[in-house]
Amino acid sequence: MKFDNQLRIAADIIDTYKGEAPLHAWLKDFFRVNKQMGSRDRKQLSTLVYGFYRLGHAANHLSVKDRILTGLFLCTDQPGEFLGYFNAGYNENIAKPLAEKLAATDIEPANIFPWRDELSSAIDHEAFCLSFLRQPDLFLRIRPGQEATVREKLGDAAGFIPPATVRLANGFKVEDHFTPDREIVVQDYSSQRVAEFLRPSAAAAHGPATAASAADPGSEPPHSFWDACAASGGKSILAHDCYPEMDITVSDIRESILVNLRARFQAAGIKKYQSFLADLSRDDIVNLPVVHLVLADVPCTGSGTWGRTPEDLFFFDPKKIGRYQTMQRKILANIATHLAPGATLVYCTCSVFKKENEEMAAFLRDSFNLQPEKMENLTGYPQHADTLFAARFAKPNCD
C-alpha cells in the first residue's frame, strides 16, 4: 500500500506540474503544504519525479506510472524495495551497465533530446542524450591562495581537476565547510573553463587560481572589464581572479541581480567595481562602458544545463531558439558597436544549439569586423558537467 501511494502521488505531481516554476522550488512548496510527508517520502518522491523528466521525450507511449518506473531504473543503480515491488526484473538488473539496462526497456535514447539537427556540430548527440540519465556532479572552483585550506578541509571527499577544480557528489553541504565565494566558488566545470577565453591562450592553461596566472608575460593585462549580462556573477569573480587589479563593471536587466551581486562581491573581497541596470536588447541604449575586456554571457535557452533541470528539457518549445537568437543579436549589436579599438569580446552561452552558438559567432565576425581568436563548444557531458559555448574576438586597433 505504501509503495502504491508513493507512485500515485508522484504521478499526481507530474499531472499537476506544468513547468511554470523550477521543479525544485515547486516541489519545495508542495512538500510545505503536505507536511505529513516525512523526509524519506520527500526524497523518494523527488527521485521518482526527476527520473520521469530525465527521460525527456523518449518513451512517450508509456503511461505516466510506467515512465516513472523506467526512469527510476535507468537513472539509479541501487536496488530497492520500491522498484522490486513493481518490477522485480528491473530491480535485479539495476546495477548493470547502462547499455544493458536500455536494451531491457522500450527507450530509444535518441528521442530523449529530439532536436538533433539544431545541435552545434561538436556535440555528440548520442552521448548528450545519455547524459540526461545522470545528474551532473557538483563542482567548486578554488580561489587563489586557498588551495591548501580547501584540500585540508575536504581530504578524500573530493576529486581534484588541475589546476583549481573540485568535483563532489551532489548533496554535499558546501556551507558546512566553506563560506561560498571566499575560499571557493560553486561553479560548474565548464563555466570555470571560460577562464581560457578571458585570458590569452599563453596564460589560459594556468587557470585563474595559480600564482602563474596573476600576470600574463605575453600581453598587457586588461585594465577594465565589463560583465554585460552578469546574472549570478560567478564569471565576474572568475575574471577578478584572473586579473585582480582590473576595474570591474557589471550590468543586468534585473535590479535584484545587482543587489545579490553586492553580497557576493563582498564575500569575494571585490571592492573595486561599479554596476548599472540596463536592457541591452533595446534599440535606444546609450552610454555603455568603454573597457578593455567584455564578457557577453547572454540570455539563452540554457539547453547545456538541462541535465540539472530536466523539466526544462521536457517542456521546451523549440520556437524559443529563434526568439533567443533575435534577442542575442540585439544585445551583441549594442555591445559590438561600442567596443573600443583593441578591445576583446568574449561571447558565451550555456546552449547546445548552433543558432545561439556558431551562427552568433559568425554574426559578430561578419557584421562588426571582429577577429575570432578562439572558439569552442565546452562539452561537459564526459565530465558529468554542463555544456557551454565560448568564443573570443578582438576588435582591430583600426578599421
73/250 Cα distance (integer angstroms)? 45
Confidence of residue 67 (pLDDT cuts 50, 70, 90): very high
- 553580497: which residue's cell? 263
Confidence of residue 209 (pLDDT cuts 50, 70, 90): very low
Q: Is the pLDDT of residue 204 over 60?
A: no
> Residue 170 CB: number of other CB atoms within 10 A?
10
Confidence of residue 205 (pLDDT cuts 50, 70, 90): very low
Confidence of residue 306 (pLDDT cuts 50, 70, 90): very high
Read off the pLDDT of each residue in 297-304 and give the average, rounded to a whole number.
Answer: 98
Residue 324 near residue 349, CB atoms below 8 Å: no
Q: Is the pLDDT of residue 265 over 80?
A: yes
389/116 Cα distance (integer angstroms)? 17
Read off the pLDDT of each residue in 290-297 and give the average, rounded to a whole number.
Answer: 96
pLDDT given at position 203? 45
Q: Is the pLDDT of residue 331 over 80?
A: yes
Could you list the beta-strand ranges (E) of the chain.
138-142, 159-161, 165-168, 184-186, 224-227, 247-252, 273-277, 293-297, 344-349, 371-378, 388-394
Q: Is the pLDDT of residue 300 over 90?
A: yes
Q: How confident is the prediction for the chain on average, in pLDDT?
A: 93
Confidence of residue 399 (pLDDT cuts 50, 70, 90): low
**AA letter at 146:** Q
**C-alpha to C-alpha distances, 368 to 11, 285, 339, 348, 374, nearest whole angstrom:** 51, 18, 10, 17, 17
Q: Percentage of the chain with pLDDT > 90?
A: 88
pLDDT, one tens digit per residue, over 276-285 is 999 999 988 8
Q: Is the pLDDT of residue 192 over 90?
A: yes
Q: Where does 138-394 sit in CATH, by number? A: 3.40.50.150
Burial state string for 1-13 with b = 16 or more CB within 10 A and e = fewer than 16: eeeeebbebbbeb
Pairing of strands 165-168, 371-378: unpaired
Nearby residues of 289 by Cβ (< 8 Å), 6 or more positions away: 224, 226, 249, 338
Report angle CA 207, 210, 215 to the nearest 5 degrees: 80
pLDDT given at position 397? 84
Contacts of 328-332 spanning 24+ positions with Cβ under 8 A: 328/298, 328/299, 328/300, 328/356, 328/360, 329/360, 329/363, 330/280, 330/281, 330/282, 330/283, 331/228, 331/229, 331/280, 331/281, 331/296, 331/298, 331/299, 332/296, 332/298, 332/360, 332/363, 332/364
pLDDT given at position 371? 96
Residue 354 near residue 125, CB atoms below 8 Å: no
Confidence of residue 219 (pLDDT cuts 50, 70, 90): low
pLDDT given at position 299? 97
Residue 13 near residue 30, CB atoms below 8 Å: yes
Read off the pLDDT of each residue in 92-100 and give the average, rounded to a whole number.
Answer: 96
Read off the pLDDT of each residue in 347-356 and give the average, rounded to a whole number.
Answer: 98
Any idea where the domains of the chain sit in the sequence? 2-112, 138-394
pLDDT given at position 217? 42
pLDDT, one tens digit per residue, over 245-258 is 999 999 999 999 99
pLDDT given at position 221? 86
Q: Is the peptide bond between 163 and the residue preceding it cis, with omega within 30 degrees of 0?
A: yes
